[in-house]
């Protein structure tokens, strides 16, 4: 199988660039800055926001991994993400691409009108990618536990740098983080797993359900640091996000959507049909955190 990885210089793309060849697949990358790509695979230079290089990258490809977003440094990332996805779907259709695999986000159990901007944008991209001829497999995840995962690294840096953790009411909301090893296994399998519909959804969740406070406390325990939690009565995202981004040393364009998503439970859909058969996650949260911390913070600029 011949696979294209868009966003190959990012966190998940970098992991896939190792995992797909190990599974016997030929890999090509697509990136704005090929010099930032660690993997030794052919890379087409281009930009999904302008369409540059997309036609060339899709030639003779069976499956494409769509692993890009436009949040950081963008004032109107919603329209840019949607336009890029529509352009990619059209080019994929012209190239006769069989399948697109997309990394999306879990949806909260509430009306879509109450979804955060970030979640609404990801769902719009799902449907845009599926608007043409290619099959689309979407893996929806919340927090990926891995050394270079931006969301995990953000939480870890907060724990490391704040002697007391003031947590707003979102501390009681729940999610199911997934170990990066389980996510990658599922992504590799998603390239060839049988599907019977144009758009197939798989909730990429680990075996444990925890509150955000429990997750943060588990990270602190594994770091062997005592971090008292100070319950904070109000959620003020306009203030919380810039302060948290500055403390963690992360881009506000990443942190703000992440904090917005904490305002609800992010869990697998209750009683959702298994739309595609992918490997069941097997690493519990404790093992996932141990693995992430053991591998350290090896990269500071991955997505």
Domain boundaries, the chain: 2-295
Determine contact, residues 66/135, Cβ cutoff 8 Å: no
Q: How far apart are CA 180 and CA 158, in angstroms?
A: 20
Q: What's the confidence (pLDDT) of residue 184? A: 98
Q: What's the confidence (pLDDT) of residue 199? A: 95
How many percent of the chain have pLDDT more than 70? 94
Q: What's the confidence (pLDDT) of residue 223? A: 96
Contacts of 200 (CB under 8 A, 6+ apart): 135, 136, 137, 138, 275, 276
What does the block give as tokens for 77?
Answer: 């990332």
Q: How far apart are CA 105 and CA 114, in angstroms?
A: 15
Determine contact, residues 77/69, Cβ cutoff 8 Å: yes
Report the chain's C-alpha Rg in angstroms: 19
Q: How far apart are CA 181 and CA 18, in angstroms?
A: 12
pLDDT in tens, 244-303: 888 888 888 778 878 878 888 999 988 777 889 999 999 999 999 999 999 875 444 444
Mean pLDDT of 229-248: 75
Q: How far apart are CA 206 and CA 221, in angstroms?
A: 19
Q: What's the confidence (pLDDT) of residue 263? A: 82
Q: What's the confidence (pLDDT) of residue 209? A: 97
Checking if the pLDDT of 203 tops 90, the result is yes
Contacts of 59 (CB under 8 A, 6+ apart): 95
Q: What's the confidence (pLDDT) of residue 123? A: 95
pLDDT band of residue 230 (cuts 50, 70, 90) is confident
CATH class of 2-295: alpha beta
Which residue carries 């810039």 as its tokens? 242
Distances (CA, A) of 160 to 2, 77, 156, 211, 239: 42, 31, 6, 19, 21
Mean pLDDT of 80-98: 96
């Amino acid at each position: 199988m011949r696979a294209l990885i868009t966003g190959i210089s990012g966190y998940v793309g970098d992991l896939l660039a190792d995992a797909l060849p190990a599974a016997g697949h030929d890999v090509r990358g697509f990136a704005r800055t090929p010099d930032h790509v660690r993997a030794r695979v052919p890379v087409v230079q281009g930009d999904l926001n302008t369409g540059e290089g997309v036609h060339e990258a899709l030639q003779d490809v069976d499956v494409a991994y769509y692993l890009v977003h436009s949040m950081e440094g963008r004032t109107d990332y919603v329209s840019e993400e949607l336009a890029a996805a529509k352009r990619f779907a059209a080019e994929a259709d012209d190239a006769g691409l069989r399948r697109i695999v997309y990394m999306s986000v879990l949806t909260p159990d509430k009306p879509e009108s109450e979804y955060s901007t970030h979640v609404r944008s990801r769902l719009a991209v799902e449907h845009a990618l599926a608007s043409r001829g290619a099959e689309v497999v979407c893996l929806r995840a919340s927090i990926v536990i891995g050394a270079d995962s931006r969301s995990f690294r953000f939480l870890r840096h907060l724990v490391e740098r704040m002697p007391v953790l003031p947590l707003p009411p979102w501390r009681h909301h729940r999610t199911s983080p997934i170990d990066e090893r389980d996510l990658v296994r599922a992504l590799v399998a998603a390239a060839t797993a049988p599907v019977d519909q144009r758009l197939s959804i798989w909730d990429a969740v680990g075996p444990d359900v925890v509150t955000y406070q429990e997750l943060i406390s588990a990270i602190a325990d594994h770091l062997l640091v005592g971090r008292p939690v100070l319950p904070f009565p109000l959620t003020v995202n306009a203030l919380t996000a810039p302060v948290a981004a500055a403390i963690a040393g992360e881009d506000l364009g990443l942190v703000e959507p992440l904090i917005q998503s904490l305002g609800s439970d992010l869990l697998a859909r209750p009683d959702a049909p298994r739309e595609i058969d992918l490997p069941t996650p097997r690493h519990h949260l404790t093992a996932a955190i141990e693995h992430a911390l053991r591998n350290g913070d090896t990269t500071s600029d991955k997505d």
